[in-house]
Structure 1
Amino acid sequence: MSAAVRILDSAHAREARSLLYQAYLYEPTFAYLFESARPGYERRLRATVRALVSQHFAQQQPAIGLLLEDRLIAVALIAPPQRRLAITESWLWRLRMLLYAGLGSTRRYIDYQRTLLASLPPGPFHVLPLIGVHPQYQGQQYGEQLLQAVHEWCVEDKQSQGLVIDTGNPHYLDYFREQGYEELGQIAIGPVLEHVFFHAATRE
């Protein structure tokens, strides 16, 4: 069943936080950044996702979701080219992170974002800070539908050359290639090898 595509706002923040927390709970990159082997990992991850989503909507940055019978089942937060570091450079976001996720996790996440952005070639690209499909709906083509909606949205920005996404999960490498992504390179995030992919904006 095809889901309805919606532009999201702060009214969807609570659902988005819950969905993204579940989507990233077992991701290798986030497990390293927020120390999954140390007690309190789930609390730190939940706090991070809450801070990122709250700041994203507070700054009125774009987000796209899929709704199935009014239930949010997939979401993508989008950072336009000119605002890639807007969230992590915010003192309010950093304060929230320090209070709830701790100094070490905050530093690792900021370093991760800066390393990622420094690895990109020159040019205006959209970036996906967070994207996820609810575990209950994975493997049912909703990821493909969400990515297609994001691609179409990015094409509307005539200044954008395309979309960048990264993953430290080997399970997704072939998946992104099948969706038309080209691998730009790899970066080391602690023990995790992060793969950076690019999908060009195709305009007629």
Structure 2
Amino acid sequence: MLINETHISLLSQAFEKDPMFVHLFSNRKDKDQSKVLIRFIMKRNRLLDGLILTDHAKEPSCVAIVDRPVNLKRISIMSKIRLNIEMFKLIFQLPLHVLRFLTKYQKQTFSSAPNEPHYYLTMIGVEPVSQGKGIGSKVLREVHNIAESSQPSYPIALDTENRENVDYYRSFGYELKETIIIDGIKVYCMTRPAE
């Protein structure tokens, strides 16, 4: 399915009150910068052969960005070059404090993830008017089915900055592995073991 600006806008709205996004993009001008970050995350995901799950091309109610267990040897040289170009462009699109935070975030959350190959749920968002209707649960179960049907079955890692999400993810079999603090923002690192 073709991913477009509607999907990026949905994620931007879904994460509008997320503690990390509030910290990074606190004023109206910054809202466009949140879309720059989400657009980059989607491009990165595609270049690394990840998954983007959504229910509709033009009027989506949900979007999930999932990184597959990465074998960098399988990624083409051209994809690696394009990813480096996209990363370089971020220097001119996002403020320095955002880039510093994201560097710390990636480094610290990566150290909390499973040492073995795993899927990583980068983002999952449901449009605000559709929240609370089981759509997020349905998408989460789809991610679990993908990880479980892989040969071999893989664990799934995710990070959330919303404390109330921890119990939600626990109800799906995730375990809280570590809580880290980055620039005053608590990040809950969770893993769902392979089935």
In structure 1, list runs of 5 or more residues that go unmatched: 1-7
Separation in 2, partners of 1:83, 1:131: 23
SS, match of residue 173 in structure 2:
coil
With normalisation by structure 1, the TM-score equals: 0.82
1:104-183 to 2 correspondence within 5 Å?
104-183=97-176
The residue that corresponds to 1:5 in the other structure is: none
AA matched with 1:141: G
Structure 1 counterpart of 2:4: 13
Q: How much has 1:130 moved relative to structure 2?
A: 1.5
After TM superposition, the structure 1 stretch with the greater mean CA deviation from structure 2, 148-157 or 137-146, is 148-157
The answer to whether structure 1 residue 82 and structure 2 residue 70 are counterparts is: yes
| Structure with the bigger percentage of strand | 1
Q: State the 1:30 CA deviation.
A: 2.2
In 2 relative to 1, CA 121–60 (structure 1 residues): closer, same or farther, beyond 3 Å? Answer: closer
Equivalent of residue 191 in structure 2, options 188, 191, 198: 198
Q: CA deviation at 1:183?
A: 1.0
Shift of 1:17: 0.8
| 5+ residue gaps, structure 2 | none
Is 1:31 equivalent to 2:22 in the alignment? Answer: yes
Amino acid at match of 2:137: E
Aligned to 1:73: 61
Q: Classify the secondary structure of the residue corresponding to 1:112.
A: helix
Other-structure match for 1:4? none
Secondary structure at the residue paired with 1:130?
strand
* Secondary structure of residue in 2 paired with 1:82: coil
**In 1, Cα distance between the equivalents of 2:16 and 2:68?**
25
Q: Which residue of 1 aligns with 2:44?
A: 55
Q: The residue matched to 2:178 in structure 1 has which SS?
A: strand
Tell me the TM-score normalized by structure 2: 0.85
Partners of 1:51 and 1:23 in 2: CA distance = 17
Tell me the C-alpha RMSD between the 2 structures. 2.6
Aligned length: 189
Letter in 1 for 2:36: A
Is contact 2:48–2:70 with CA below 8 Å preserved after alignment? no
* Counterpart Cα distance in 1 of 2:25 and 2:128: 22
Q: Which stretch has the larger CA shift, 96-105 or 176-185?
A: 96-105
- Name the % identity: 23
